[in-house]
Structure formats: C-alpha cells, structure tokens
Amino acid sequence: MAFKIASSPHVGTTLQTAKVMQRVVLCLIPGIAAQLYFFGYGTLLQIAIAIITAYAAEATILALRNRPIKSTLADNSALVTALLLAIAIPPLAPWWVIVIGTLFSIIIVKHLYGGLGNNLFNPAMAGYVLLLISFPVQMTDWVSPMSAAQQSVDISYAWKVIFNSTSDIILTGHNLAIDGTTMATPLDTLKTDLSMGLTTHESLAKPIFSSMTGLGWFEVNFAFLIGGLIMLKLKVIRWHISFGILTALFICSSFGFLLNPDTHVSPIMHLFSGGTMLAAFFIATDPVTAATSARGRIIFGAMIGALIYVIRTFGGYPDAVAFAVLLANMCAPFIDHYVRPRTYGHRSGS
C-alpha cells in the first residue's frame, strides 16, 4: 500500500475539501443577503465578476502547469476566494477593480506558491490589500444604506455604475444625484472626525450611525455571526481562532473605552462594524494560512484581534481586518514552531 503525502488542509474522508468549501459558501448566504438588503444589489454583480474571473484564471494557470483542471476547480476553493473578495469591496466599485483583485489572489497569492495548501497568505485578503493600497479612492467609497441613500441600488442601476463611466463620476463627486448614493464607511467617518478634533459622542450623533454602530453594519455583522455559528455547529471550523479574535478585540476596545470614551468607541462598535465577524469566522479560520495546534490557534486569533484594534485606533486605515490577517499569516509558522502540542506519552520538558 502506497502512503500518500498531501498538503493541508487535511480533512477527513467523510468531509472532503469540496464539501467544506460548499458549506462555507452556504453559511455566507445570511451575511450576503443582509448586505444586499442594506447596500443594494451591486454586490451580486461583484460576486458574478469575481467568480468568472477566478475560475478562468485558475483554469488557465492549471493548464500552464499541466495540472488536472476539472478536479481542481471542483474543490470550490476558487469560489470561496472570489466570494470573500467580492463581498469585501464596495458594491459599486468599477468592474476592473474586482478583476484585478481576483487575478492577483488566484494567480500570485495562490498558485505562485504552489496552489491550495501551499499559500502563505490568505488569497482574498492579499487581493483586498493590493486593491486598497493601489486604488484607495475606489476602495473607500461605500454605498449608503438603502434607508439613507438618495438613489436605490437595484440591478440595473448597479450595472450602469459598475460597467459604465458613471463610476468615475461617483468617485470624484461631480454628480450630486449619484454621489448621494456613496459615502465613507462608519469606521472611516469616525477616524476622520477624531482627526478633526471631534469626540466620539459628536461623531456618533451623525445619521450614518445607529445604536452605537454603523447604520446597516450591525445587521450585516450579526448575519455573518449567525453563519459563523452554523459553521461551528457543522464542525466546518473550530472555535479557537474566532474566540481569540473576538475576545482580544473586546478586551482591547473595552480597555480603551474605559480609559478615554471621548476618543475610543465601545466594544460593540468594534465587534459589529467593518469586517469583524466576516474575518472572525470566514477569513482567519482558513486552515491553510492559520496556526495548527489548539493553543496556537487561540494565540493566532488573539493576535488578529489585537492588531485590528491597534490599527483601527492608531493606524491610517479605518478597518484593519485585512492587514491584521496578513500579519498573523506571517507569524503562523513561528507560532506553530514554539507552540507545539506535547507528544502523547512524553512528559512536559522531556
């Protein structure tokens, strides 16, 4: 009998990689539905563009590498990467933004390192960071919640904005009727207000905020929380990383809020705004780029939670999820090296 050596992610035969990815996609549905409800249907077009680009890029690279195309595409890893990147970018971003990000995620971050199981960084977050640094204007104009927008974002309107030159008008703010649809995210608004000398209480009094969180953002994060809990129930992921992220972020934000509530927001704002819940359950839990041992996963998650708070509070970017995940990805081998589980039958220190 030949002993087959395979790279991570290692899953049992009763739960193949393709089924794991399918369950991740299904558990993303509540969050995607909430995002569509509050921010319009532009996300659907971004998802469609990302999926087509991801499968085309993966098939092309597999052909160039003389690897099996059909069986590899069937593992659904490209689908998950495309979904995560598409729901992370602004729904009305120009079509070429998601195409560039997806190509970078699949070709450079994933296949340049050898494909699934060999990549050092989370492909979706690496693509997101590339877009954020390269196209900061397009990546920071989010859609207003439907209750506050002057223009409802249905499929036809989203199509015109994403594929036509009107997207440039939106992002430069030359068309007031269209510009009323886009705005900065709540975290970006808060950071800008604090830099201008306003207190958190004054900033949170703006219409963009609701119940100490961004309008619509609480519901979206809560929906991703529901999907994450379903994944835990189905044993698609383990609890350690999610627990580490949310606990560390809660502790850090609570300390800052108690220290100076005029310049720091409550823990609820940190937990239910931006991409916190998406990162805690769907991004950081990627088995390829995370730590492997139980204790190592908790440390890995706590590092991400602490980095999210530090970058949000003291850094130049309002939502630090992508940067925090990538920095933790770099540290995962280090964590695994120094946090090794004790071998069965051996005493500690022996």
6 is a domain residue? no
196 plus 91 within the same structural domain: no
Residues spanned by the domain of 156: 16-183
Residue 344 in any domain: the answer is: no
4 within a domain of the structure (yes/no): no
36 and 142 together in one domain: yes
- Residue 123 C-beta-side C-alpha neighbours within 13 Å: 34
Evaluate whether residue 68 is within a structural domain: yes
My answer on whether 25 and 167 are in the same domain is yes
Instruction: Note the pLDDT of residue 11.
Output: 52
Domain annotation covers residue 350: no
The domain boundary residue, chosen from 183, 209, 233: 183
Q: Please indicate, yes or no, whether residues 230 and 105 belong to a single structural domain of this protein.
A: no
The domain tally of the chain equals 2
Task: Report yes or no: 96 and 135 within 8 Å, Cβ to Cβ.
Answer: no
Identify the burial level of 152 via C-beta atoms within 10 angstroms of its C-beta, where 0-12 means exposed, 13-18 middle and 19 or more buried: exposed
Contact indicator for 91, 158 with CB cutoff of 8 Å = yes
Query: What's the pTM?
Result: 0.86
User: Tokens 């540290």 correspond to what residue?
Assistant: 331
- Classify burial at 269, counting beta carbons within 10 Å of its beta carbon; exposed 0-12, middle 13-18, buried 19 or more: buried
Question: In this structure, are 282 and 223 located in the same domain?
Answer: yes
**Domain finish residue from 134, 167, 183:** 183
DSSP labels, 299-314:
HHHHHHHHHHHHHHHH
Asked if residue 287 and residue 211 are part of one domain, the reply reads yes
pLDDT given at position 213:
75
For the chain, list residues with pLDDT below 70.
1-15, 146-152, 165-183, 210-212, 341-350
Is the same domain home to 33 and 168?
Answer: yes
Q: Mark whether 134 and 236 lie in a shared domain.
A: no
Choose one of 139, 163, 183: the last residue of a domain.
183
**pLDDT at residue 212, rounded to an integer:** 65
List the structure tokens of 62: 């597999």
Whether 194 and 120 map to the same domain: the answer is no
- Specify if 126 maps to a domain: yes
Is residue 295 included in any domain, yes or no? yes
Residue 84 lies in a domain: yes
Radius of gyration of the chain, Cα coordinates, nearest whole angstrom: 21
The number of beta carbons lying within 10 Å of the beta carbon of residue 191 is: 20
Same domain, 174 and 193: no
Distance CA 227, CA 247 (A): 19
* Whether residues 198 and 272 fall in one domain: yes
Question: What digits encode the pLDDT tens for the residues 188-242?
Answer: 888 888 888 888 887 777 777 766 677 788 999 999 999 999 999 999 999 999 9
Same domain membership, residue 66 and residue 156: yes
